Amino acid sequence: MAVEKRRKANNFRVQGFLGVLFNMGLNRKSSIKEYWNRKNVSQSTPWFRMTFSRNRFQNVLRFLHIVDCKKIPARNNQNYNPASRIKQLIDFVNRKFLHYYRPRRELSVDETLVGTKGKTAMLQYIPSKRSRFGIKFWILAEAVTGYVFQMHINLGKTFEPALPAGTLQGTNVVIKLLQHVQGADLLNKWYHIFTDNFFLSLNLARPLLVQRTHLTGNLRRNRPMPNMIDNADPDPGQTTYARQGNILLCSFRDQNRRKQVKLVSTFYSAVRAMNAKPLIVNPYNTCMGGVDLSDQMMAFYNDHRIQSKVWKKIILHMFHRILLNSCIQYYQHTSHNPILSRFEFVKQVIEGLTEEHLLNRQQNPGPRQKIRKVIERKEKDCTVCSDRITADEEEQGPSVHVARRDCTSLVFVDTNVNY
């Protein structure tokens, strides 16, 4: 039986929890309890024991919630949303990401996968990804730095809203990422969007150009395009161009490739670069990987802890995404000389988050607990532990049990509590 005085989680304790969580990404271990290992001196990490007790950290992690679950519609409700436990956090993070950073002109749109095999209607299978199973996010990121501005979760085929007739999913995703910005709109500012062939189509390039937004990417063979590009068969190293107003299309075959690549751009002209390739190719190769760059950086200093709850896995992912974006902001705006490495930056963040919590823990230590064994003797049944049904209880009910001070088994006793 555990006797513990419940204490409310204050800001210091929440910051300390985040600091411990980020430090687990720097010091990876096989399980959470290994961070509080005292048996093996070689595996001892005293900082974690100083910051949190193991039970308290696990309790904070266990009861971590973003919304009141009692107010969420049930599964059989027509208003049920599988992302309702995390939607408020995602919306809040999207607002803050754009509020504190002004993006450069080149942006990229792509998908990412938060790896999990938990039970949820949002689960996706993408064999080309490292995790293969997980929750899909549509990402709008800065092409050069990988700074993420917008994250939209894919709810799956069952709960995703139906698309208008004739609208491709990729077209709808790009428009939503640029429009669905609370307090700001990325359209009509001549940003330049880079996408792959899943998103790109002429039906996307036209409305974006009307809303003063450039688009560049490669085009799938089964998408509508002019016959001149569809039937083009250029020789190796040659390019075929076509234009529809301000939209440039080209079909290019590299010297060392058998397949031709079809590209679309509303920004570049039909000229060749220094390497004899179309001018569209080099910027596309440079700027298309913004989301992949962000995912690559996310893989470092992240313990990728397995969570049975899918929504909790996404919450922890969002915490690490916030940490990465703050590091990118530091690189863009710092005046430090020399500039801290990302490893040093994360260590400074951890120390800043846990400083006040450690000071408060030293000044106000909690009640110390000790283990003692009660002398075994013949006593009345414990109202907490005993499941034996007596003859009197069958007639009068469980109220016959008389309370005892301690159990006959091993117990945790709070020395500051009066019994």
pLDDT-above-90 percentage for the chain: 46
Closest residue by Cα to residue 36 from 270, 27, 8: 27
Least confident span in 95-99, 130-134, 273-277: 273-277
Please say if the pLDDT value at position 131 is more than 90.
Answer: no
Higher pLDDT, 230 or 404: 230
User: β-pairing, 369-372 with 192-195?
Assistant: unpaired
Token code pair at residue 185: 């709109």
| pLDDT at residue number 408 | 46
The mean pLDDT of 59-82, rounded to a whole number, is: 89
Please say if the pLDDT value at position 406 is more than 70.
Answer: no
Q: What confidence tens digit (pLDDT) does each residue in 246-269 have?
A: 999 999 988 877 788 999 999 998
Collapse the DSSP code of 327 into the 3-class scheme (helix H, G, I; strand E, B; otherwise coil) and give the result: helix
The DSSP bridge partners found for residue 371 are: 412
Closest residue by Cα to residue 291 from 157, 160, 174: 174
CB 385 within 8 A of CB 1: yes
End-to-end CA distance of the chain: 14
DSSP, residue by residue, 307-321: -SSHHHHHHHHHHHH
| pLDDT at residue number 403 | 42
Closest residue by Cα to residue 154 from 126, 182, 181, 127: 126
> What's the mean per-residue pLDDT of the chain?
84
The DSSP bridge partners found for residue 164 are: none
Least confident span in 10-19, 234-243, 276-285, 387-396: 387-396
| pLDDT at residue number 370 | 61
Please say if the pLDDT value at position 214 is more than 90.
Answer: yes
The domain segmentation of the chain, as residue ranges, is: 11-64+334-363, 82-225+261-331, 370-414
The mean pLDDT of 39-67, rounded to a whole number, is: 90
Please say if the pLDDT value at position 393 is more than 80.
Answer: no
Position 2 confidence tier, pLDDT thresholds 50, 70, 90: very low
Give the gyration radius of the chain's Cα atoms.
29
Higher pLDDT, 408 or 146: 146
| b/e map 278-293, b = 16+ CB within 10 Å | bbbbebbeebbbbbeb
| pLDDT at residue number 379 | 61
Please say if the pLDDT value at position 3 is more than 70.
Answer: no
| pLDDT at residue number 36 | 93
| pLDDT at residue number 377 | 62
Q: What confidence tens digit (pLDDT) does each residue in 157-171 have?
A: 888 888 888 788 889
Higher pLDDT, 326 or 255: 326
Q: What is the 3-state secondary structure (H, E, C) of 89-134?
A: HHHHHHHHHHHCCCCCCEEEEEEEEEECCCCCCCEEECCCCCCCEE
The mean pLDDT of 355-372, rounded to a whole number, is: 75
Please say if the pLDDT value at position 125 is more than 50.
Answer: yes
The DSSP output letter for 70 is G
Position 181 confidence tier, pLDDT thresholds 50, 70, 90: low
Q: How many CA atoms lie within 13 A of 384 on its CB side?
A: 11
The mean pLDDT of 333-338, rounded to a whole number, is: 88
Position 391 confidence tier, pLDDT thresholds 50, 70, 90: low
How far apart, in whole angstroms, are the C-alpha atoms of residue 312 and residue 277? Answer: 47
How far apart, in whole angstroms, are the C-alpha atoms of residue 336 and residue 327? Answer: 13
